[in-house]
């Protein structure tokens, strides 16, 4: 099974006003019925000194074994599982 890792990866780096304003939304429509494409493009806004930065990384992991009967690890209809991590931090002041 050949696939492109870059097509399965979505990275967003953005500035937010403060730590409490961090809102995480998956960049894929979880109600899709077949090919679940990214709804939000990759972005990179590193901010200035003392900015609060939120980094979101999502990966659509292909599920090879599907046991059927509700025993699949896939959480998207295109037989992938959406893995995610989010980090929020403040840039150095300079």
State the Cα–Cα distance between residues 43 and 61, nearest whole angstrom.
21
* Predicted model pTM: 0.83
**Exposure string for 30-60, b = 16+ CB within 10 A, e = fewer:** eeeeeebebeeeeeeeeeeeebbbbebebbb
What is the total count of domains within the chain? 1
Handedness of CA 10, 11, 17, 20 (dihedral sign): positive
12-33 residue pLDDT tens: 999 999 999 999 988 988 788 8
In this prediction, what percent of the chain has a pLDDT beyond 70? 94
Q: What is the residue whose two structure tokens read 């690890």? A: 73
Q: What is the mean pLDDT of the chain?
A: 87
**Residuewise pLDDT in 10s, the chain (94 residues):** 455 778 889 999 999 999 999 999 889 887 888 888 889 999 999 999 999 999 999 999 988 877 766 677 878 888 888 899 999 999 998 7
* Segments forming the whole domain that contains residue 43: 5-90
Task: Answer for the pair 48, 85: CB distance below 8 angstroms, yes or no.
Answer: no
pLDDT at 1: 45
């Amino acid at each position: 099974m050949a696939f492109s890792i870059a097509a399965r990866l979505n990275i967003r780096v953005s500035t937010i006003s403060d730590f409490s304003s961090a809102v995480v939304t998956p960049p894929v429509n979880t109600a899709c019925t077949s090919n679940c494409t990214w709804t939000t493009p990759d972005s990179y806004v590193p901010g200035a000194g003392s900015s609060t930065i939120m980094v979101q990384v999502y990966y659509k992991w292909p599920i090879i074994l599907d046991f059927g009967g509700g025993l699949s690890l896939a959480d998207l209809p295109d037989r992938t599982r959406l893995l995610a991590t989010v980090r929020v931090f403040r840039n150095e002041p300079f």
